[in-house]
Amino acid sequence: MKARGMIVPEQMSAIRQDQPDGALKHEQLVVPRPGPGEVLVKMDASPINPSDLALLAGGYMERSYPFTPGLEGSGTVVEAGSGIFPRLRLGKRVACSPNPGGDGTWAEYMLTSAMRVVPLPEHITQEQGAMMVVNPMTAMAFMQLAREGKHRAMVNNAAASSLGKMLVRLALRQGIPLINIVRKEEQIKTLKKMGATHVLNSSSESFEEELKTLAEELGATLILDAVTGSQSSILLDAAPRGSTLLAYARLSGNPILTDPGTVMKGEKKIAGFLLGNWLETKGLLFKLIFVSKVKKALNGDLSTHINGTYPLEQVEEAIAHYREHMSEGKILLKIGSD
């Protein structure tokens, strides 16, 4: 069933990759048609996230080739397959993500499960809506994990990221001390301007000592690690007894390196976090309440600064821009014609 007044063409433009680390190609593909439980989204915008770069490089998650990249975005549901959920979404502006292993958001149209689209209220723009899933939900999840684990304070690295800035705002609002770790001097200024109290530079000589003192003083027992590699060892060394290190990305490209003695003596734990897996452990009611909280905060604590927009055809330029200026905000691919 199509949305009223909507004409869906036979063909669409899409970005494709044929092999891990392969070049991106612009192709004309047949527009897919929704099956039971599915919807067809006419895409409007999609960000470039570190997870997209990891997926393009290969080895991030199993997948078949060729495929269309893009792990989140926004658009309008223009066609619905059979079932109550697809019909309820028909004609709605939505935030969306692809089916696991399915073609993604860097195309004029994307097919996905009706459960993977979230209607956007009027106050949320297509741009902010395109970035509603990956970082805002993760930031909210981290705050929830801090509360559940009764952690008095937290540490986060790569803290000048969009997600890091959301955590700065949420931690301030919820009164949970947060030790932010960045790697450039100008990033300290940016986070302090936002009100962050504790910002350390991992490139400074006194970093390890400062981190240890502060983590002990504040009781920072939840360590959010997006960098891994040798930084995990420093984080675990500095962490108070009984801390948990939650690895949530691998920005250094290296495995978690640490002396097992540190973990054994200090009764420290190493765990992993993936938003999709975390959400899968939650029931429908939790998810509904969680998504509604995310929507409410999307123009405030969970907003994302946009550093630039590019049309889909300029995806290579967009990626190059993003790689050079990651801490300055997101680069959005604008896909819709308006």
Ligand X SMILES: NC(=O)c1ccc[n+]([C@@H]2O[C@H](COP(=O)([O-])OP(=O)(O)OC[C@H]3O[C@@H](n4cnc5c(N)ncnc54)[C@H](OP(=O)(O)O)[C@@H]3O)[C@@H](O)[C@H]2O)c1
Min separation Cβ 311 and ligand X, Å = 20
Min separation Cβ 249 and ligand X, Å = 3
Under rule CB under 6 A, residue 46 binds ligand X: no
Choices 64-72, 158-166, 294-302, 307-315 (CB under 6 A): range interacting with ligand X = 158-166
Question: Which one of residues 43, 55, 160, 179 is an interface residue with ligand X (CB under 6 A)?
Answer: 160
Residues 78-137 that bind ligand X (CB under 6 A): 134-135
Residues 168-197 that bind ligand X (CB under 6 A): 183-184
Under rule CB under 6 A, residue 162 binds ligand X: yes
Query: Binding marks (x or -) toward ligand X, 240..279, rule CB under 6 A?
Result: --------xx-xx--------------------xxx----
Residues 296-325 that bind ligand X (CB under 6 A): none
Under rule CB under 6 A, residue 69 binds ligand X: no
Choices 43-51, 108-116, 261-269, 293-301 (CB under 6 A): range interacting with ligand X = 43-51
Question: Which one of residues 50, 75, 86, 104 is an interface residue with ligand X (CB under 6 A)?
Answer: 50
Min separation Cβ 188 and ligand X, Å = 12
Under rule CB under 6 A, residue 227 binds ligand X: yes
Min separation Cβ 76 and ligand X, Å = 24
SS (H, E, C) the chain: CECCCCCCCCEEEEEEECCCCCCEEEEEEECCCCCCCEEEEEEEEEECCHHHHHHHHCCCCCCCCCECCCCCEEEEEEEECCCHHHHHHCCCEEEECCCCCCCCCCECEEEEEHHHEEECCCCCCHHHHCCCCHHHHHHHHHHHHHHHCCCCEEEECCCCCHHHHHHHHHHHHHCCCEEEEECCHHHHHHHHHCCCCEEEECCCCCHHHHHHHHHHHHCEEEEEECCCCHHHHHHHHHCCCCCEEEECCCCCCCCCCCCHHHHHHCCCEEEECCHHHHHHCCCHHHHHHHHHHHHHHCCCCCCCCEEEEEEHHHHHHHHHHHHHCHHHCEEEEECCCC
Q: Which residue has the tokens 């997870």?
A: 51
Q: How far apart are CA 140 and CA 134, in angstroms?
A: 11
Query: Binding marks (x or -) toward ligand X, 134..153, rule CB under 6 A?
Result: xx--x---------------
Min separation Cβ 221 and ligand X, Å = 20
Residues that bind ligand X (CB under 6 A): 49-51, 134-135, 138, 158, 160-163, 183-184, 226-227, 248-249, 251-252, 273-275, 326-327
